[in-house]
Structure formats: structure tokens, C-alpha cells
A and B are shown apart, each in its own frame.
Chain A
Amino acid sequence: MSAYDGDATEMLEAYDFLLKFIVIGEAGTGKSCLLHYFLHNSFKGPSQHTIGVEFSSRTIKLGEKRIKLQLWDTAGQERFRSVTRSYYRGAAGALLVYDITNRDTFTSLPRWLSDARALGSPNLVTVLVGNKADREDEREVEWEEASRWAADNGIHFIETSSITGDNVDAPFRLAARAILLAIEAGTLDPEKAGSGVSYGDRQLRRISSASRFSFGGGTSSRRRNVVVRLKDGVGMSKCC
């Protein structure tokens, strides 16, 4: 994405919030590549299956806020399910990744989603990510279908490519934005342990929460905006 500002190296910078994300989905859908692109702004190249769970982090800017993302990249293989399931706990956001060129990875999504719903926090923000959008010729899952499924399940949806880097930032930003909105609306309390969200700067805590968000106006209208933006983003990725 053009919004990428090359601050992957600013991992140690100060931040306002820290969010824990988990990246899930079937093996071979490109979860690690997506993360790699997000972190390093480049394609990772052919890679091995992830073993267990890998950890990384990056700080992004959302409006005036600096958000630090702790990213847990999980193995998609069945044999690691018992391990990876333990990492849903305490995640604030989940990226549910499937491969648009492999229908099986799409049809198994309900299982992943129910796992996430059962094991994660009730406020878990989930974004459905259709990866490998650059391989339009081999597409097996139509955008409309995935979009409908996402809408039915009340989750965000976006298509990305970890080779061209199209939209790779979007799911992370989308999830982070939704979480911040939830905090703003009061449905999510970063003060409480296990929410997957914590304050970065201690000073912020002492300020009243009402004026904390400079990027948002009314909650509900913003939420609608998110959806609109999401679709714009998807449209963009389609035409590319």
C-alpha cells in the first residue's frame, strides 16, 4: 500500500496502545508471507511451514495514535492446532487468512472462526483476509462470495497479495481501527488484563478517556465509515 511509511524498523518507538493480534488460517495460505510483507515491506519468497507460533511486532500510526502490534503468526497445519489454539486467549484481533486460489482453505473457514469465537475474547475483532490476490487466473473463491460470508458472520473482509504487497497493511489497520473504536465506545477496557490491549504511554492513562481519540467523531458513524473504506480498499485491490 502506498500508505506504507517504511517504519518497520521503529519497533522500539513509543506508542499509545499495544494490541495483540493473531494470524490464523489453513496451512499454505500465506500467513507468514503476509506478515513478512507487513513487517519488512517485501515478499518473503518461498518459505517453510511455520512451526508452532512465531512472534513479531510493528508500530503503526493510526490518526494521531501510535499503535504497537504484537503479532502472533500461527502454524496452519492440523498437527499444530492444539498448540495454536492456546494463543487465541488474550488476542485483541485475529486475521483469518484463506487462499483465493484454493477453495478448501475457504470452506474450512467456519471451523477457524468458531475456534476464534470460542477461545478468544468476546471482543475479538476478526478480519477475513483473502490472500494471493495477485493470482487472479487461478481464483477459486469469488470476491462476492467471501464478502457475503464475511458480512453474514459480522467480520471485516479484504483481499491482499503478499507478493505485490497490495493491501497488506489494510487488514492490520482495519483491525486496529476497529479495536480503537471499541475502546472509544467503552466496550473494550484496556485496563483489564487479558483484553489483548494495553496502554503504551503511561501518561495517557491519567488523562480522561473522553478526549483521547483525535481521529474519531461519533462512534456509529465512524463504524460505517470503516465499512465503506473497507469496500473501497477491496475495490482497489480488484482492479489492480
Chain B
Amino acid sequence: MSSSASLDLPPPLSASTSERKVSSSSPAAAAAAARNPISLRLYKVLAANFEDDATREALRTLSEFYQPATDKGKGKQLDAGALHLTNGHAHAEPQTPASALLPAVSTGVAVRARKNLRRDVELRLAECSQQFLRAFGEVDEKLDVLNSHVAQMRAKCDEIHAQLQASNDACKYLLERAEGLQTQRQTLIARSELVNSFLKRFTLTPAETDAMVSRDVPVGQSMFDAIDRTEKIREDCRVLLSGEGGESQAGLDIMATTAQLLEQAFQKLLRWCSFEFRQLGRDAMLEVSPTMREAVRRLRAQPALLTEALSALSSIRQTTLLNSFIDALTRGGPGGMPRPIELHAHDPGRYVGDMLAWVHQAMAGEQEFLESLFGVRHARMVGAVRTAGEGEEESWVRRLMDENLEKLCLPLKVRVQQTTRSQEGSITAYKIANLLQFYLVTMQRTIGEQALLTKTVQEITDFAFKVFFDTLEASGRSLLRFLHPPEADLGPPLTLRDFSHVLREIMEDYARADPEAEGDGFKKILDTSLEPALEMCKRMSELMPPQAAWEQHIFLVNCFVYLQAMLEPYGFTGERVDALEEQIEGHVHGLMDEHYTRLLKDSGLHPVVEALSSQTSGPLSHEPAASSAAVTSALKAFDTFLSTLDVQSSPRLALLSVPSVGSRIHRGALARIARDYGRVCDAVRDARNKYEFASTLLGSQRPFGQMGVLSQVLGIAEDEIAAA
């Protein structure tokens, strides 16, 4: 068979797949008859291709499966035994078939294979399963070990867990404690912060303490700041002490410490101020540093200390001012210019004025210094009156002003009083007094009425005025001491003229000092000076013989008019001028009466006028003195009188120093004469008086019974005559 020869391999193939071998053989047989199903089947089997990989792999495996059995026939038992030993399988022998060796393999193997294939495969499977079983048994053992290990681990873990739990429990306490401690710590921190801020607030830093207490730290802003802080602390502390907690030891301690510190600080300030004041005192003019002003302001809290410091200052200022004053008095400026004040002691006005001006200037400087020391600021306008403040500062300033200027008072007083006392003339005395008065007002306005210096000036002013009035009174007494009758000319006596000269000077000075003055201040002067003068005139007039009333009047009128003329230009003498006018009028009236009486006699009318005045009852013509003849002769005499009459003046009145007064008296008297003439005429014309040819009687002589004519002759208006 060609097919079988060509197909060496198919038998093993068909052997491996018996079914296929069977079918392939059948189609091969039927190849001739195509339509035979068996042949078809055969063909199909024969046509089956085993060249695919899977088949080849299967076959190769199969061949390997039987390889060892064919290859080493003799060693087959040993190998099989070895296989048995290694695989635990009895059928290891046929496992060594090889395809390359296949053709060489005898058909014994193939036969065996054909017979035993299934068994072998199954055996082989079982063997493998056995192997698996063994392997798994081993794995199982390992797993058991693993399991026990895991259990062990678990136990350990539980143990650890328990331990952890335990330690956790233990830690919880610790934690709590820690937490507690933490809170405590927080609290403590907060408390320490509180304490720190408390300390910060209630205690001073060493630097501050040093600034307040130590001598090494100069007085300045740092010290003031420290004092401020201390005071703030004390204030806070007081609040603390009065708080709900009541007094605490700390608070009391703080108060005690700060009080002590403050005291030391004030002592330091006091020492410093005293030292600085001592330095200051040496200068004539003063300057106040802000530090010193502040120091003084601080010290005001401790009046006792301030007083101590300031009394040191005052005593130094007193000495300095006194020395400068004495220098100005005795030595003058540098090189003797300006010259020493005392060089002008011979000129009392200048001497006193210079001294007071010096004091005034020193006072102004002192006032400025003190105001700046106490920080008092006056927004004073130029020339405005200083208004003394009521504050504490002002009272200090006032007090110190007094103290600083105190020592000036005595030398000033002594010198001024000496000067005033040595004045004999009222004029100088008045000028000094007036000057003092001026400075008194100035000082009252500058340093107040209560100031010591003002009081001193007041005192010396009063003294000066007293001296002045003394001189006035003395001169008044001297006026009355040596009285003598008036001179023949009846003019104002020389003493009165001298007196008037003095008084005029005084009035001049007074008017100069205060042009708007009403004279209230001058009344006393006028009274004191004028009264003795008037008294003198009166007494002098009385020294004349009693029958010389006429001359007395003339003398007094002369004196009074003289005085009046002197007083009149000054507005403030009005009262006196009026009083004098009154007196003058009185005397003028006296003179007029007297003059009239004499003129009436001269005129020849007087018998008729007398008869007219003494007329009782019955016609006037029946009176002997007023008979027609008497009237005629009287009228004739009157005519003559009129023709020789000087209507302007009368020689009798020539001694009156003021002609106008004489003329007034003369004319007044003439007016009365004219009035009398009128009365005579009326009486003559009156029918009851039974004058015959009354009109002829009157018309025979000038002025012919006509008042108009008489009025023209005398140059006196008719109504003036009527009023006489």
C-alpha cells in the first residue's frame, strides 16, 4: 500500500485518535467510488490535516510520553523505578517517547501505546493528582503553621491593645493633669501679666526714680515726667484703695513709697530752685528758664517748700535791688554816666523824681520776672491799667513783689522824707508831694494798693503833704504874726503879694498835674492857705482907726480883688472866687452907701432929702428944711454940683486898686442921688405938699425937674436910677 507507505505517520495518528483512523481508512477505500458515503468519509479522514500546531503539540507530547520506554529498553526498569520514586507513579516508563526516534521505535511501543494509552493517561493524571495532593498537604501544613502564627500574633496584638488601653487609661490622668497644669499655667501667665501691668502702672522704673531722687540727674523734663507719673500712680492707687476690695497692703505700700519719693523729689526741686535762685539773684535783670517756671509750678503743690525757696530768692533779690539802688544813688552808671542820683540832691524835685523813677523801673522788671516765674501772662494793652488777678499765682506774685522790694522801701523813705522835711518853701514841698502822689497812683495801678511799696509811697506821700500843709500853715501863721496897718495907698500888702505868688505857683503845678481836676483835692490847700491871708487882711484893716471905715472897706476890697484875680484863671477855684465876690460885694455896698452919703452932702440936696425921709404928716413945704426957699437953694446947689461933677470917678475912690470897682461904686451912688432928686421933684410936684409954682421951682435950675436930662448928664440910664 502506497498510501500506507506514504503515510508512515498516520498510523500513530490514527493510533492516537482511533476514531479518526477508522474513518480515514474508510474514505480511502472508497476513493474509487466517489459517491459511496464510506469513501466520502474516507476521503475526509485522509484529507484531514494534522499539520496544525495543536495537533503537533499533542502528538509531540504523546511521543514524549512514550519515549523513555522505547529508548532504553534495558534501563526501563531502573528509570521506571526512578520515576516511581520521583513521581510516585508506576507508569513513568512510557514517558520518554521521541518523535525523532519514532521510526526507530519499534512497533512494541506503539502497540503498547495503543493498548495502554488511556490507562497511561489516566495513570498519569492520577499521578499528577497525587502529586498535587501531596503538594497541597504540604501547603496545608504550612497554612496551619501560618494560622498558628497569626493566632499568636493576634494574641500579641490583643495584649498590646490591652496594654495600650491600660496606658491610655493611665495617660488620661496624666493628660488631665497636664490640662490642669496648662490652665494653671494660663492663669499664672495672665496673673503675671496682670502683676506686670500692675507693677508697670504702679511702680516707677529705676530711671524714673533716679530722675526724681538722684542728685546726678539734673532737674528737667525727665524729672517732671517722673513726678507726673508718681502722681498718676498715687491717684490710681487712691482709686484702688477706695475700691471694693478695700485697702490692700500693696496699695498702702505704694502710697507710702510714692509719698516718700515725692517728698524726696520735692526736696530735690527745692535744693535746685534755691541754688538757681541764688544764681539769679546776682543779676540786675532776670530771665526765667522754662525748667525753672515748671519747677516753681510743681513746688506750688508744697507751699512750705515753695515758701522756703522763694524766701531765699526774696532775700537775694532784696540785697541785689538794694545794692543796685544804692549804686544808682551814689555811683551812677558805668563811668559815672548817667550821674549818680544823689548828685542832684540839691534839686529836690529831680532828686525825688529820679529815685521814684528808678524804683518804678526796678518794680516793672521785678514784676515781669515774677510773672514769668509763675507763668502769669497779662495780655495787657499799652497803657491799660493792670488788673490784679485773683488767682493763686497773682497772690504769690504780689507777695514776692512785696518781699523783693521790701528793702528798697526804707532807703527810699528815708531819703524822700529827708528831702521833704528840709523844704521850707511850700512850693517845693507841694511839688514833691504832687510828684509822690503821681507815683502813688502809678504804683497803685501797677502793683495794687495793698503792695508794701505802694503803702510806703502812700506813707511818704502823706508825709510830704503833711509837710506841705505844715509849711502852708507856718506861712499862714507868719502872715498873722507881724501885723501892721495898711500902707497909705491902701493897696494889698507885700505879704499878701508874696503869699499869692506862692499860691499861684502851687495852683500852676496842680493844674499842670491834672488839667481836668475838679479841685476836690485842692480845696484843703485853698482853705489852709487862703484863710490866714483873709484873716490877715481883716486884722490889718482893723488896725486902722475906727473912724476910717471908708479906708477899711477900700483896703479890703483891694485885697480881695487882688486875690480873686489871682484865683480866677484856675477852674478849680470857683467856690473861693464866688465867696470872695460875695465879700467884695459887701464891701462895695458899704462903700457905695458911704459914698452916696457924702455925695448927697456934696450935692446940696441932702437937707431936702432928709426932710422928705423924716416927713411925718402935713405938707412938706411946711417943713423948715424943705421950704420953697430951701428947695430953691438946694436945687441951685445941685445945679452947681452937677456942673462940677466927674461922673466917671471920684477922688475919694482913687485908692481902689481896680478903677472899674471905683467907677461902679461912684455910679451906683450917683444913681441913688438921681433917684433922690427924682423923689424931691415928685414931692415938689405933689399938690399935697403945697408948693406954689412947683414947676417954676423945679424948672429954674438944671436939670429942670426932668429925669431924662439928669440921666443924660450923669450918663446913667433911667431904669438904672429907678432901680437904685
Contacts and interface: CB of A to CB of B under 8 A. Distances in A.
A72 B361 contact: yes
B382 A192 contact: no
Contact of B324 (A44, A85, A193): A193
Contact of A40 (B328, B381, B438): B381
A90 B372 contact: no
B357 A53 contact: yes
Interface in A33-85: 35-36, 39-40, 44, 47-48, 50, 52-57, 68, 70, 72-73, 78-79, 82-83, 85
B357 A193 contact: no
A85 B353 contact: yes
Nearest to A15: B287
A56 B353 contact: no
Interface stretch (B103-111, B331-339, B494-502): B331-339
B383 A50 contact: yes
B351 to A, nearest CB: 10
Interface in A86-145: 86-90, 119-122
B174 interface: no
Given A85-B350, A86-B353, A12 B338 contact: no
Interface stretch (A152-160, A198-206, A217-225): A198-206
A70 B368 CA distance: 10
B442 interface: yes
B332 A194 contact: yes
B382 A39 contact: yes
Query: Interface range on chain A: under 10, 10 to 19, 20 to 34, or 35 or more?
Result: 35 or more
Given A79-B515, A85-B353, A193 B333 contact: yes
Contact of A54 (B283, B331, B358, B383): B383
B713 interface: no
B356 interface: yes
Contacts of A86: 350, 353-354, 356-358
Contact of A193 (B280, B327, B364, B365): B327
Contact of A83 (B324, B327, B381, B435): B435
A195 B285 contact: no
Contact of B338 (A35, A53, A90): A90
A202 B333 contact: no
Contacts of B431: 82
B357 to A, nearest CB: 3
A89 B354 contact: yes
Contact of A89 (B293, B357, B368, B442): B357
Nearest to B337: A122
A180 B335 CA distance: 19
A39 B368 CA distance: 15
A36 B384 CA distance: 11
A70 B289 CA distance: 18
A236 interface: no
A63 B377 CA distance: 27
Contacts of B350: 82, 85-86
B334 A47 contact: no
Given A50-B383, A85-B353, A193 B334 contact: yes
A93 to B, nearest CB: 14
Interface-central residue, B285, B289, B350, by most chain A CB under 10 Å? B285
Given A14-B289, A44-B381, A121 B357 contact: no
B7 interface: no
Nearest to A191: B334
A39 B384 CA distance: 13
A189 B333 CA distance: 11
Interface in B440-492: 442, 446
Given A18-B285, A79-B513, 11 more contacts: A11-B368, A12-B293, A12-B375, A36-B381, A36-B382, A44-B382, A48-B383, A82-B350, A194-B328, A194-B333, A195-B333
8 contacts: A12-B371, A44-B381, A47-B383, A48-B383, A55-B361, A82-B431, A86-B354, A194-B333
Closest 4 CB pairs of A and B: A194-B333, A86-B357, A192-B334, A79-B512
